[in-house]
Structure 1
């Protein structure tokens, strides 16, 4: 493969959304990033609520438990809010990228033995194959991670191009 190969993608927002937002990824409270923190915060909140109803039965020595659980609840709420912020920023970045794709006229992948280039309306990102650290393929998409990270839905290209790209990625990216 000494000559340069070009694959033209036909991006549709829906194809990208199916992958990016699958499995509650876009949910602020139930995404994989925030689900555990949400459940923990709810459990600690319920324990605090129960303690609040029975606080009159506490002796002065046992009242520290109420303060400790209050502190834990506050800590859980802070960690949850940080995770929600992270998911919100990710969602905003993905949406701006999808808007860019929605309006693009040219979306093509160019590669040879040494370089891999993605061109979106004249904005080219070129990487050497050694710059990529990870490659993932599934029945719905191909994903690359490295200097730049990419995800190419299978629906955005024809079957022949998808197979070729998958073979080239397997060959050039050492896991």
Structure 2
């Protein structure tokens, strides 16, 4: 195991706005236009529009073609169910994000400590420790570094120095994104 003096320590400067910019970028928090809901919403609106048109012309449909109205009604119902499930998922995610962001408002300590084997996060003396091997995925962008595993993390670039961001980036590339 690595010795203590091999540990790298990064102290994060907490500004809620920096975390919000990453979590809520690109309509992520929008119930109808988030990336995971937008397609379902548009599909539901299109099917609803077709159903309304069919409903207005239902008197002109022959008995053989009346089944189309039932089929499109079923399709609309199916779309509405998938849309409501997607909206519910985004709503729950957004509540969790808001709850997490509220915890950051009173944060005095937000520190990342890692070496070649272990990754630790200290948030107001609530410490979480993971082995690098416990992370199943990682993401590095121009604005943040994210890790998924036993614990999930997202560290905005704005919350640390450029040198610390590069140090964390190299560690994630070496240990998670191999």
The answer to whether TM tops 0.5 is yes
Q: SS of 1:29's equivalent?
A: coil
Corresponding residue number in structure 2 for 1:19: 22
Corresponding residue number in structure 1 for 2:98: 95
Whole-angstrom distance in 2 between the partners of 1:135 and 1:67: 46
Normalising by structure 2, report the TM-score: 0.94
Decide which of 139, 155, 178 is 1:152's aligned counterpart: 155
Decide whether the 8 Å contact of 1:133 with 1:174 is kept in 2.
Answer: no
How far has the Cα of 1:97 moved from its partner? 0.5
Normalising by structure 1, report the TM-score: 0.95
Whole-angstrom distance in 1 between the partners of 2:33 and 2:39: 8
Q: SS of 1:133's equivalent?
A: strand
Corresponding residue number in structure 1 for 2:112: 109
Question: In the TM superposition, what are the counterparts of 1:1-175 in structure 2 within 5 Å?
Answer: 2=3, 3-175=6-178
Unaligned runs of 5+ in 1: none
Decide whether the 8 Å contact of 1:5 with 1:110 is kept in 2.
Answer: yes
Unaligned runs of 5+ in 2: none
Q: SS of 1:33's equivalent?
A: coil
How far has the Cα of 1:174 moved from its partner? 4.1
Q: Which moved more, 1:43-52 or 1:135-144?
A: 135-144
How far has the Cα of 1:133 moved from its partner? 2.0
Count of aligned residue pairs for this structure pair:
175
Q: SS of 1:105's equivalent?
A: coil
How far has the Cα of 1:135 moved from its partner? 2.1
Name the Cα RMSD after superposition. 1.2
Whole-angstrom distance in 2 between the partners of 1:87 and 1:171: 32
Structure 1 runs of 4+ off > 4 angstroms? none
Q: For 1:24-49, what per-residue CA distance to the aligned partner results, in whole angstroms no more than 9, with x for missing partners?
A: 11111111110110011001000000
